[in-house]
């Protein structure tokens, strides 16, 4: 039986050491380079190739022939006296004192160290990515590298999102993400291209060139998937990149719907009550985001992870991608005006469903919990 893990410390290990070499590159970088980035992201302040001979320090030692979920590194960095073991009980990483780390590097393990597996170190539910998926810990070989990259990519995906992002984009996005990683294209560069497509879609919608506008809009949504995944798998996420990416996501949809309505009028379509349609489509989008913020403020959790119904409704709720599906259907049918009418109607329905869910949550005993957390273990 594994010994209990040591208590979590307030600060991470001071020194990081990567042992050995990986047998294959991952996402355009060596295993050692990836692990050094991972340790730095976990708060380890100094990376060394050899341990110092004197002094006192906590050392996070990791083997380059294994691939670690970032959550494992983050947790292990703050647990002195803990050895992480693989499925066969093999020691693959440890947070130890300087003397113990020297011994670990030669294959010796401290007798009093807590030996734990990944499931004991990190819970299967990831609240940040809103998904139920155990942290990965996998041996790296030339044969396992492709499967590892796919698992890493899948692990970078949010579990609760819209139907296009969840079911259409993953495999082509993985190909493009890998290409970007190999070419050393940064996530911020992808986001900049995405921003250009956002403006181009707005301009095309405004001119009534709906087909070209939709092509730009769908290209933007695809790159919006790629930039986030690229940042996660290459460990290159930055505060500025997060602001740029999430800020762009948040503000552009109402402007697209406004431009679409202007484009309808410019193209000769009779748009009855265009002002009301714009108010519902654009204003409703703002209200939907406000409802989601209110739910977080009232109950301390996101609305779409509360019950299984809420996660399923997030697939189609009136956000950008589901609305683009409605607009695309309208254009393919030769009636872009009906596409926008469908967006306005679906926005009203989504607002009503959100309102009901908020009221139901108010009548439910607190604290609320996610259905995914209830299914852990």
pLDDT digits (tens, 9 = 90+) for 54-68: 778 999 999 999 999
What span, in angstroms and rounded, lies between the C-alpha atoms of 257 and 347? Answer: 12
Q: What is the pLDDT of residue 125?
A: 75
Start and end residues for every CATH 3.90.550 domain found in the chain: 15-125
Cα 271 from chain centre: 39
Please state whether the peptide bond connecting residue 225 to the residue before it is cis, i.e. omega within 30 degrees of 0.
no
Q: Which residues contact 315 (CB under 8 A, 6 or more apart)?
A: 161, 162, 163, 166, 322
pLDDT digits (tens, 9 = 90+) for 160-194: 999 999 999 999 999 999 999 999 999 999 999 99
What span, in angstroms and rounded, lies between the C-alpha atoms of 227 and 220? Answer: 10
- Domain made up of 156-374: CATH architecture: Up-down Bundle (1.20)
Q: What is the pLDDT of residue 8?
A: 75
Mean pLDDT, the chain, rounded, equals: 91
On whether the 15-125 domain is CATH 3.90.550, my answer is: yes
What span, in angstroms and rounded, lies between the C-alpha atoms of 365 and 319? Answer: 29
Q: What is the DSSP letter of 283?
A: I
Q: Report how far apart, in Å, the C-alpha atoms of 355 and of each of 138, 206, 304, 343 are.
A: 44, 32, 13, 18
Q: How confident is the model over 211-240, as a mean pLDDT?
A: 92
Site of tokens 């202007």: 262
Q: Residue 129 pLDDT > 70, yes or no?
A: no
Q: What is the DSSP letter of 304?
A: G
Q: In the chain, count of helices (H) and strands (E)?
A: 16, 10
Q: What is the pLDDT of residue 268?
A: 87
List, as one string, the DSSP characters of 130-167.
TEE-PPPEEE--TTTHHHHHHHHHHHTS-SS--HHHHH
| Burial status of residue 19 (CB atoms within 10 A of its CB: 0-12, 13-18, 19 or more) | middle
Cα torsion angle, 197, 201, 207, 209, sign: positive
What span, in angstroms and rounded, lies between the C-alpha atoms of 263 and 109? Answer: 69
pLDDT digits (tens, 9 = 90+) for 22-40: 989 999 999 999 999 999 9
Q: What is the DSSP letter of 84?
A: E
Query: What is the percent of the chain with per-residue pLDDT over 70, rounded to a whole number?
Result: 95
pLDDT digits (tens, 9 = 90+) for 301-336: 999 999 999 999 999 999 999 999 999 999 999 999
Contact present, 72 and 83 (Cβ < 8 Å):
no
Q: Residue 115 pLDDT > 60, yes or no?
A: yes
Query: 18 pairs with which residues across the strands?
Result: 62
Q: What is the pLDDT of residue 5?
A: 56
Cα 19 from chain centre: 29
What span, in angstroms and rounded, lies between the C-alpha atoms of 78 and 113? Answer: 14
Q: Residue 287 pLDDT > 50, yes or no?
A: yes
What span, in angstroms and rounded, lies between the C-alpha atoms of 275 and 347? Answer: 15
Q: Residue 4 pLDDT > 70, yes or no?
A: no
Among 64-68, 81-85, 369-373, the range scoring the smallest mean pLDDT is 369-373
Start and end residues for every CATH 1.20.120.1760 domain found in the chain: 156-374
The bridge status of strand 66-68 relative to strand 137-139 is: antiparallel
Q: What is the DSSP letter of 190?
A: H
Q: How confident is the model over 214-221, as a mean pLDDT?
A: 98
Q: What is the pLDDT of residue 1?
A: 40
């Amino acid at each position: 039986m594994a010994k209990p893990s040591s208590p979590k410390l307030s600060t991470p290990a001071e020194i990081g050491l990567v042992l050995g070499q990986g047998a294959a590159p991952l996402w355009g970088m060596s295993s050692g380079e990836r692990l050094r980035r991972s340790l730095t992201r976990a708060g380890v302040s100094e990376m060394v190739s050899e341990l110092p001979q004197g002094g006192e320090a906590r050392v996070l030692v990791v083997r380059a022939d294994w691939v670690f979920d970032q959550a494992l590194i983050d947790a292990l960095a703050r647990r002195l006296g803990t050895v992480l073991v693989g499925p066969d009980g093999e020691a693959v990483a440890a947070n130890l004192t300087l003397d113990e780390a020297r011994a670990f590097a030669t294959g010796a393990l401290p007798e009093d160290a807590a030996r734990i597996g990944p499931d004991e170190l990190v819970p299967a539910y990831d609240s940040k990515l809103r998904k139920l998926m155990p942290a990965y810990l996998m041996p790296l070989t030339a044969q396992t590298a492709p499967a590892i990259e796919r698992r890493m990519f899948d692990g970078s995906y949010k579990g609760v999102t819209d139907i296009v992002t969840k079911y259409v984009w993953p495999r082509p996005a993985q190909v493009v993400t890998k290409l970007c990683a190999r070419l050393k294209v940064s996530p911020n560069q992808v986001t900049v291209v995405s921003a250009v497509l956002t403006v181009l879609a707005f301009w095309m919608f405004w001119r009534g060139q709906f087909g070209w506008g939709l092509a730009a809009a769908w290209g933007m949504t695809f790159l919006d998937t790629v930039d986030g995944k690229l940042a996660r798998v290459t460990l290159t996420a930055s505060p500025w990149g997060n602001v740029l990416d999430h800020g762009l996501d948040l503000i552009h949809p109402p402007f697209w719907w406004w431009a679409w309505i202007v484009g309808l009028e410019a193209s000769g379509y009779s748009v009855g009550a265009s002002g009301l349609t714009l108010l519902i489509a654009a204003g409703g989008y703002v209200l939907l985001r406000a409802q989601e913020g209110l739910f977080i403020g009232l109950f301390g959790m996101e609305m779409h992870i509360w019950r299984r119904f809420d996660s399923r409704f997030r697939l189609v709720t009136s956000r950008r991608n589901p609305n683009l599906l409605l607009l695309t259907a309208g254009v393919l049918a030769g009636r872009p005006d009906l596409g926008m009418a469908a967006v306005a109607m679906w926005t009203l329905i989504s607002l009503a469903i959100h309102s009901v869910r908020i009221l139901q949550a108010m009548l439910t005993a607190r604290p609320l919990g996610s259905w995914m957390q209830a299914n852990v273990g």
